[in-house]
Structure 1
């Protein structure tokens, strides 16, 4: 197996938790394994980019164990609030964690799956993923990474040769198994499950595992953990807003404790700055609408505080939780300045610019991606008249953080609205033509280079 010992650094830290946190499972035996997406850029960061095509499908379609890491796949146990209703019957129902390793920054990383077969937590589900769902996750993760949102990476998508019945797609539809690269699959719901069972020893063990392995802190203080999670999730909420992204299902089992976005279902990018824009057709109360995402994530972190109350005093937990708002505000300011392509000045001036930008976006109906493309570097075109006068005046005092010399700026803004997602999927469904998907990934990566610091 062509793995560089300098780049590939396997780990098996998950085993330190013990079998009360997960269930050993076997992957489904798929009729075929046909690689449809291979993210060598992400694979290089964990020393796996030199795998041959045959090795790739063996490890990421048949789940032959990678050397030196977990001996078999494990379905994680967790609970969670789903649309504010507590559900104790969750857990990995169509996925598992099957490997851990260090990336090129030294972080512990998980390889997890989606669509890898049934587990003890599948309930009535078939444990499978539709090919369209896998394509949508590629597009979401590539776009969010380019827009500076902390996110899982889609490492692999392998088509598996089964026909699936789904109520929200024309059926039968094609099947796939996806592998994601993530800093953590430990969820807020992982702690909720232990609190539900009043497992104080388990809570302490998971707190220690998280602090040591995911935050590089040598302690087991639950208040410190909550403080770190508040900071990371406030950053996530802020960057969702700057990206114009709507996750769609911000349940507490979909929020991990390192503040990375993952597990993409009915996501959408908002075409305009409409706080009521909603991604999931089943979110009838608009609980997870675009403008309510910071509130939703804060509510989920509150559930972590409730769970940790079994092993910590209330007052310091409340004090840590109350820092979400004060941490969100500077994070959203910096996230929008980053998209505007300008350097920060001072907190008051920065805040005034961001508030003016949000007001103008909301009242003008200008497309989010269009505006940030045109305004990058701080020079707003003259076509932006009222209500943009305040924004133009504020931008005049800012220095660009990067010029517009990259070829991306000579074209059109890269967006990912629902009509384009469907247009990318259509030739795959009709003619097995992947040209549009591959071209879109290339454009997104060009945008990423143009935006990057």
Structure 2
């Protein structure tokens, strides 16, 4: 049997009809060499029973999974660096399948929309590099192997740091030589499959609004409400916007707590479930730097680290503008105004989670957030971003370890004293986690120099050892932090 009994197909987006996507044919690749298979992610949707040959058939040649109608390129528009582009859409990817999460995966998730617990979350399989579509424009519809490797690494580390994210399910090298202007050519090629809660983007609504299709906006509102935010009442577009605002605030706060810069926060790169996805020029911070950018072409710093909340809010206002076709402006504005308070609330929660301590209430939690940011700011790259969360995990319990460690000399002075006082007010959350061997070693980071070194080993000698070892360490970190 090619799939397990837990596999439950539900191609809901496909049922919306041709106004929202186009049936496409996947590329015929000259070879299909499996380079990465996410067994844990596969098990969460009942695909862990596939043999390697079946895996390649479904995720390299894209033979439809049972109960799936075949791939569609999703239609959407978007603002790219705040310039509207009506020529977007899935240009080198498609929606391959949708299925429900297994009961076991559902029980383990703390990111479930209220009301979906009985049926399991609806999950998408989306591709990157699977060939041309009607929306490819002048592109070749392909993905470089390096780009695929980078996405696998980014998604794994973000999950380990508590960020709602897509997961890389599969990476298959495809044997084509690609020409690229921003990296050495010819480049090796690959096709990636990601697993995430939804690929419905803000830009999906923008396309319907661009054509004045209030009926399509209403269809999307009901589709998204029923499947992803079922606590919202039918037809309540402002209520749906408020739910998306909350989810987006949570995502943005967790990017900041993780020290992550997405790089390209266009409206087609934000979705209705508040998940991070589509990793191009991403970076993790080496140290506190509000102006740190990930994309070499972001000359104005529009999507710099500290401007990410502003960018997400601006994108939410574009979504609200689309909903004006089916709702009054005042309740939509009220929903948008919830972003600021939600973001601050979620930022406090994200920093407490990263530090492994319990909440004491808004005032005390805010003091700890402010003190942590002050310590990170003063420490700059000398201290780094990630070491603080590693050294002081679970608070007071880490004192001896942190003050005897390699960064002990940086933990002194008034700024550190304020941080330590605020931290020690908070009791440890599950302090037994500190017994994991990962906390006896150095922090597990993912800075650009290491990413380039991992790729260099693959590129120069087809050595996948460093890539696989890094993923093993990231998975160990995820388990250690619980």
Task: Report if aligned partners of 2:45, 2:101 keep a CA contact under 8 Å in 1.
Answer: yes
1:427 aligns with 2:427: no
Gaps of 5+ in 1: none
Instruction: Please name the residue that 1:75 is paired with.
Output: 73
Question: Which of 244, 247, 254 is the aligned partner of 1:239?
Answer: 254
Instruction: Please name the residue that 2:92 is paired with.
Output: 94
Measure, in 2, the Cα distance between the counterparts of 1:39 and 1:305: 36
Question: SS of the counterpart of 2:450?
Answer: helix
Measure, in 2, the Cα distance between the counterparts of 1:394 and 1:96: 48
Q: CA deviation at 1:396?
A: 1.7
Q: CA deviation at 1:291?
A: 0.5
Q: CA deviation at 1:2?
A: 3.2
Instruction: Please name the residue that 2:32 is paired with.
Output: 33
1:391 aligns with 2:388: no
Instruction: Please name the residue that 1:360 is paired with.
Output: 375
Instruction: Please name the residue that 2:337 is paired with.
Output: 322
Measure, in 2, the Cα distance between the counterparts of 1:109 and 1:297: 23
Measure, in 1, the Cα distance between the counterparts of 2:278 and 2:461: 28
Measure, in 2, the Cα distance between the counterparts of 1:163 and 1:220: 49
Instruction: Please name the residue that 1:227 is paired with.
Output: 242
Question: SS of the counterpart of 1:20?
Answer: coil
Task: Report if aligned partners of 2:2, 2:54 keep a CA contact under 8 Å in 1.
Answer: no
Q: CA deviation at 1:221?
A: 1.6
Residue range with higher mean Cα deviation, 317-326 or 390-399: 390-399
Measure, in 1, the Cα distance between the counterparts of 2:364 and 2:93: 46
Instruction: Please name the residue that 1:144 is paired with.
Output: 158
- 1:340-351 to 2 correspondence within 5 Å? 340-351=355-366
Instruction: Please name the residue that 1:438 is paired with.
Output: 468
Q: CA deviation at 1:253?
A: 0.5
- 1:264-283 to 2 correspondence within 5 Å? 264-283=279-298
Task: Report if aligned partners of 2:162, 2:254 keep a CA contact under 8 Å in 1.
Answer: yes
Question: SS of the counterpart of 2:253?
Answer: helix
Instruction: Please name the residue that 1:2 is paired with.
Output: 2
Question: SS of the counterpart of 1:192?
Answer: helix
Instruction: Please name the residue that 2:52 is paired with.
Output: 53
CA-based RMSD: 0.9
Measure, in 1, the Cα distance between the counterparts of 2:181 and 2:377: 35
Measure, in 2, the Cα distance between the counterparts of 1:2 and 1:171: 38
- 1:141-290 to 2 correspondence within 5 Å? 141-217=155-231, 219-290=234-305
Measure, in 1, the Cα distance between the counterparts of 2:468 and 2:249: 33
Q: CA deviation at 1:402?
A: 2.6
Measure, in 2, the Cα distance between the counterparts of 1:393 and 1:39: 42
Q: CA deviation at 1:450?
A: 1.2
Measure, in 2, the Cα distance between the counterparts of 1:99 and 1:125: 24
| Superposed CA offset, 1:211-238 (max 9, x none) | 1112234613211110110000000000
Task: Report if aligned partners of 2:155, 2:166 keep a CA contact under 8 Å in 1.
Answer: yes
The TM-score normalised by the length of structure 1 is 0.98
Q: CA deviation at 1:4?
A: 2.0
Measure, in 2, the Cα distance between the counterparts of 1:413 and 1:58: 39
Measure, in 1, the Cα distance between the counterparts of 2:299 and 2:4: 50
Q: CA deviation at 1:250?
A: 0.3
Q: CA deviation at 1:15?
A: 2.5
1:370 aligns with 2:370: no
Question: SS of the counterpart of 1:336?
Answer: helix
Instruction: Please name the residue that 1:417 is paired with.
Output: 447
Instruction: Please name the residue that 1:122 is paired with.
Output: 136
1:303 aligns with 2:302: no
Aligned length in residues: 450
Instruction: Please name the residue that 1:313 is paired with.
Output: 328
Question: SS of the counterpart of 1:175?
Answer: strand
Residue range with higher mean Cα deviation, 371-380 or 55-64: 371-380
Measure, in 1, the Cα distance between the counterparts of 2:2 and 2:246: 39
Question: Which of 103, 127, 137 is the aligned partner of 1:113?
Answer: 127
Instruction: Please name the residue that 2:308 is paired with.
Output: 293
